[in-house]
Amino acid sequence: MDDQPTFDPTQDPKVQRVIRKLRIPPDAPGEDKQVAPLFPGFEFDVRLVSGITPIERDEPLDFWIDRPDGMRGWIINLTIEGCGRVFDGPESFTVEPGDLLLFPPGARHFYGRDRKAAKWWHRWIYFQPRAFWKPWLEWGTQVQGIHLQRHRDERTFSELFRLFIEVDNWSDLSDNLSTDLAFNRLEQILLTCARSDRAANAAKTVIDERVLAACALISENLDKPLGVKDIARQVCLSPSRLSHLFRHYIGTGVVQWRDAQRVQYAIQLLRVTNVPIKSLSQMVGYDDPLYFSRVFRRHTGMSPRTFRDHSLGRIEPASPPETLPSALQD
Ligand code: FCB
């Protein structure tokens, strides 16, 4: 994983393997980890799945990816070769090597190989973001709810390319720390994008300092019963003004954000400690463990106990939750 690949996207290590597999139809494509997600009908995991879709003219993947209601999670998509087209009609646009697309949950997916190009290879990552990533998931350029950035310079493109490969490599391994490393590389991708977006839209992205103070206060007091009124008082705003500014800059409500932070903290505690759920619920600010379980389930789709069993490998992962985690429902 320490090897720095020489930058030549056509040498993407996975592409040839995927193309070969596609040419020999597998006996049970639904079970092949590398190609199953490339076809309609695949159930996406709750946290992170990544892959590469090497579309070549008239080959098995040469169809339009059409999901009118989008997906439950987010998708980030990097073109590495050829040319893709997103949407049809007057709003349609093309993407080329170095271009990134970010699809929020529920945003329409309608894309495929641009008819003029012989191929469109893209790498993608499907993920449920950590709550504090929210401010980085808003880019200045959007078309019908799809965020777009173009990184045609070789330096940024090769850096993004390397990070996508690392996410893919780490996410292939099933232990918790490897998953954390995949998330860590994804976080680097999103930070790189947020940074360049901020440079391009400097004036728009200065977050009100009272909102930042509110975030810091929440993060430092996850175990305390802090409500909107207390937070507002401490940052010298009225509760309604704080709620308004918070939604404007962070994109979600104060309590929702606080709960999402608590759930993230609970996730870490569940994975790395054996603190009983009752005490754990108090450590993350809930006196009532039943209420904590309800909040936790709303965010992750499972109870704290089931989550702990999953992460310790005691039970097989279930299918993803039917409802969107509430942190993403805004
Ligand atoms: C694959 C597509 C890819 C991405 C993932 C989630 O089937 O090829 O672009 O949408 O699904």
Single out the residue in 172, 202, 232 at which a domain terminates.
202
Question: Atom 11, ligand 1: which residue's CA is nearest?
Answer: 38
CA distance 310 to 192: 31
CB-ligand 1 contact for 124 (6 Å cutoff): yes
CA distance 318 to 167: 22
Q: What is the dihedral of CA 163, 167, 173, 176, to 10 degrees?
A: 110
If asked whether residues 187 and 224 sit together in one domain, one would say no
CA distance 330 to 328: 6
Question: Residue 302's pLDDT is what?
Answer: 85
CB-ligand 1 contact for 54 (6 Å cutoff): no
What range does the domain containing 277 cover? 208-311
If asked whether residues 122 and 190 sit together in one domain, one would say yes
CB-ligand 1 contact for 75 (6 Å cutoff): yes
pLDDT in tens, the chain (330 residues): 445 545 777 777 778 778 777 776 655 555 677 777 777 767 665 588 899 999 999 998 999 999 998 888 899 999 999 999 999 877 889 999 999 999 998 899 999 999 999 999 999 999 988 878 888 998 988 888 899 999 989 999 999 999 999 999 998 887 889 989 999 999 999 999 999 888 877 655 578 889 999 999 999 999 998 899 999 999 999 999 999 999 888 777 899 899 989 998 998 899 888 899 999 999 999 999 999 999 998 887 789 999 888 777 765 544 443 333 333 333
Best CA proximity match to 289, nearest among 297, 301, 299, 281: 281
If asked whether residues 60 and 119 sit together in one domain, one would say yes
Q: What is the dihedral of CA 115, 62, 170, 222, to 10 degrees?
A: 70
Residues 74 and 118: beta-carbon distance below 8 Å: no
Residue 63 lies in a domain: yes
If asked whether residues 117 and 254 sit together in one domain, one would say no
If asked whether residues 36 and 177 sit together in one domain, one would say yes
Instruction: For strands 146-150 and 84-86, give the pairing.
Output: unpaired
- Report the atom number in ligand 1 closest to the C-alpha of 53: 8
Question: Residue 121's pLDDT is what?
Answer: 96
Q: What is the dihedral of CA 169, 172, 174, 176, to 10 degrees?
A: 40
If asked whether residues 172 and 47 sit together in one domain, one would say yes
If asked whether residues 131 and 156 sit together in one domain, one would say yes
User: Three-class SS of residue 240?
Assistant: helix
CA distance 317 to 93: 38
CB-ligand 1 contact for 36 (6 Å cutoff): no
Angle between helices 154-171 and 13-23 (to 10 degrees): 60
CB-ligand 1 contact for 38 (6 Å cutoff): yes
**Count of structural domains within the chain:** 2
Q: Kindly report the CA angle at 187 between 157 and 148, in degrees rounded to 5?
A: 50
Question: Residue 134's pLDDT is what?
Answer: 85
If asked whether residues 89 and 165 sit together in one domain, one would say yes
If asked whether residues 182 and 305 sit together in one domain, one would say no
CB-ligand 1 contact for 164 (6 Å cutoff): no
If asked whether residues 130 and 275 sit together in one domain, one would say no
Single out the residue in 151, 182, 202 at which a domain terminates.
202
CA distance 186 to 220: 25
CB-ligand 1 contact for 50 (6 Å cutoff): no
* Cα 124 to ligand 1 centre (Å): 7
* Cα 254 to ligand 1 centre (Å): 33
CATH of the domain at 290: 1.10.10.60
Q: Would you say how long the chain is, in residues?
A: 330
CA distance 219 to 324: 23
CB-ligand 1 contact for 53 (6 Å cutoff): yes
Single out the residue in 202, 225, 250 at which a domain terminates.
202
Question: Atom 4, ligand 1: which residue's CA is nearest?
Answer: 124
CATH of the domain at 35: 2.60.120.280
Residue 325 lies in a domain: no
If asked whether residues 116 and 169 sit together in one domain, one would say yes
If asked whether residues 166 and 234 sit together in one domain, one would say no
Q: What is the DSSP letter of 321?
A: P
Residue 324 lies in a domain: no
Helices (H) and strands (E) in the chain, counts: 10, 10
Question: Residue 319's pLDDT is what?
Answer: 44
- Report the atom number in ligand 1 closest to the C-alpha of 77: 9
Return the bridge partners of 143, or none. Answer: 146
CB-ligand 1 contact for 107 (6 Å cutoff): no
* Cα 217 to ligand 1 centre (Å): 39
CA distance 73 to 33: 19
